[in-house]
Each structure stands twice: as C-alpha cells, then as structure tokens.
Amino acid sequence: AKASATPIRDRESGVTTNRTVNFVISYIGKPILVGLCVAALLLVIFPDFRQQHSDTETSSMDLDRRAQGNEWTGPVSYSQAVKRAAPSVVNIYTRKTTKPSNHPLLDDPYFRRLFNNQQQRIQSSLGSGVIMQEDGFMLTNNHVIDGADQILVLLYDGREAPAIVVGKDPETDLAVLKIDAENLQPISVGEPAQAKIGDVVLAIGNPYGVGQTVTQGIVSATGRNGLGLNTFENFIQTDADINPGNSGGALVDSYGNLLGINTAILNQAGSAGIGFAIPADTAEKVLNDIISYGYVVRGWLGMDAFPLTPPIAERLNLPLSHGLLVRAIYNGSPAYLVGIQPSDVVVTINGEAVTDRQTSISQIADVTPGAPIELEIWRQGKTFTVTAVAGIRPTSPL
C-alpha cells in the first residue's frame, strides 16, 4: 500500500500542475499573445514606430524638426530660387560721348590746336536689367541708360548683344530695351501686392561691375512714397544690399519670382540696408504700355493741388484735417469741365479719403482714361460730389 501511494500523489500533483499551466495560458498568455500580434501589425503598417529614441535630447530635436516642418515654409537654401531667376538678369554697359565746352580761347587756332578741341570724351556706366519676354524685351532703370549713345547687354550665359531703347518712363524711372537673341529666359513674375514685411527677398544685379551678384534680405516695408525720387512712388523697401550697378536688376522672392525692379538706395551716411524697388506689377504696366502705345497710359484730371495739413488748415481757417487744396486748373481739363475751382478741397476720390498727395496722384493715374472719377469737394463750408471723366495724362505734364 505504501509503495503504491507515492505514484498516486505524483499523478495528482501532475494534474494540479497542468491545471495551473492551463489557467495561466488561458487567462494571461492569450492577452499577451494578442498584444504581441497587434504590435507586430502596427510595426508593419507604421514603420516609424520601429525606431524608438530613449534619449530625451534626441526626442526633443525630433519634436523641433516636426514643429518646423509644420510652421516654417522657407527653404534652407535659396539656390533653387537663384537658379530660376539668375538667367533672366543681365548686366548693362553704356557709353556716352561728351564734347568739352567751347571756351572763348579755343576760338584762337593756336589754343585750339594746343588743347585739341576735336577730341571727345567717352563716359561709361553700368547697371542691370531683367528679361521680361522671350522675344528680347527687358526692363531697366531710366537713369541707367539715359543719354547713352551705345547700350551693350551681357547675358547670363556670357553672350553679348547691343540693345535699343524702345521707350522710357521717367515718372517711374523705368525704360524698356530690346535685344535680338535666341534662347532667352524671361523671369517669372510674382505678386508684389501679397508681399509681407519680413518675407525673404534676394537682390540680383551687377554691383560695381564685378559681375552678377546675389544679396539676401527681407521686405522692410511696402508702399513707400514721398521720397522725392519719382513722380509715382510705391516702393518695396528692403535691407538686401543694393549698390551702384544693381539699378535695374531684380528683387525676387524665395522662389525666384520677380517682386520688383531695384532702383535706389537711401544715399545718406549710416543708411546701409535701406534700398527700394519698383513693384513688378507697376513695371509690367510700363512695359506693356510702352510696347503697345510707345508711352504709359495714365488717368488725368488736370489740376494742381497740394496736401492740406493741419497747420495749413488752421492758417486758412478751414474746418478740415485732410484733403488736397486745389491751386490751379488747366483749361479744358476734366477738372475744369466739372467746375472744380482754385481753393476747392478734394476730400475723397472714388470714396477713399485723401490722405497724401502721392497716393492720390497714383490713384488718379491708375484710372483708365475715359472712366469716371467721383470726387467729393469742399467749397466755402459746403460739401458736394462731382463725377469727372478721366483724361489721358500728358507724357510731360506741366
């Protein structure tokens, strides 16, 4: 009996052990097995989960990269923008022949022979330009080519071509040139009206004649006027370096689209980083009008006026704080035909309050000749409205 008792207990113990193992497998092992299967499936579907970073610093760097990917839209390098825009920017070289002044002593044959009065002096200057159309039309600044006898254009690929002047617009300091060459790459035009302060911009040109150069900065301001540089001013201000020779070159956005034509720097001591460009939409209008008509078509009212400032209003005892005080009216002009008189004050133009002379001049110039312009006039304590029909602004208004 004793001999058979031990095996019986062992068998019972084995049964108990098997039951325990089955219990563990049934109630604990199955969830673990299911979890492992789910984890494996997730690794197949989402490979990014395979690489886990236990290092806190590495995880923080990844978060920063992801945040930059969601919020930062600027490229790390602007080489693609330059590659896209640079072939459309040219170097311009001009030559101008000047004769010395006729001094009375030079009427004498001896002195004339001594000073060789027949010699002429050659002046050269340099600048930049932008190819706007593949048939060879390009833009530059008027002051770059003004008075030049010869204009030579150096293309991005090293080719040279003589240029002719198609037309000029001194009121915006722009000029249209034409060259005969094949395989020209016109620049892609952007939307300067959408440019925001802080946007990255690149200035491409030929500063000091060293060759094509790219400088980088941001848009510092938009709509700058009142600088006394041009009749019509609506400049994009930038801190991208613009130096002598950059005039007429391109100001492009971070994708290589043209935003403006570089035209001037603030030439004062300590004024580094203040440059100005003519918006691309203004430049395009000048280009298209000159090609189509030979001059720029602008609206015109034919009145001479100056801003009404609070000191002037107080001195004249006028109950106004803003407007344009009319000084003179041109006979037969649109303003004359609707009865506007000297000493009238133009308060609004097409419903917009008059704030400064430059803005008002540009607003009138932007009206298509033949289109109506509604003016609110103040005269001797009374306000009334007149509707004038825009005329064509003379190319050299008095």
| Options 143, 169, 220, 362, the catalytic residue | 143
| Options 88, 247, 360, 362, the catalytic residue | 247
| Options 169, 173, 241, 253, the catalytic residue | 173
Q: How far apart are CA 362 and CA 14, in angstroms?
A: 102
Q: How far apart are CA 38 and CA 86, in angstroms?
A: 54
* Sign of torsion over alpha carbons 78, 83, 88, 93: positive
To the query of whether residue 103 is one of the catalytic residues in this protein, the response is no
Which residue's structure tokens are 């300590």?
270
* Closest to 336 (Cα-Cα) out of 375, 297, 286: 375
Per DSSP, the three-state class of 276 is strand
Cβ atoms of 279 and 262 closer than 8 Å: no
Q: How far apart are CA 272 and CA 275, in angstroms?
A: 8
- Cα Rg, the chain, nearest whole Å: 37
Per DSSP, the three-state class of 267 is coil
Instruction: Extract the tokens encoding 281.
Output: 């939409």
Cβ atoms of 388 and 335 closer than 8 Å: yes
What is the DSSP code string of 301-353? --EEEEE--HHHHHHTT-S-SS-EEEEEE-TTSHHHHTT--TT-EEEEETTEE
The residues assigned a catalytic role are: 143, 173, 247
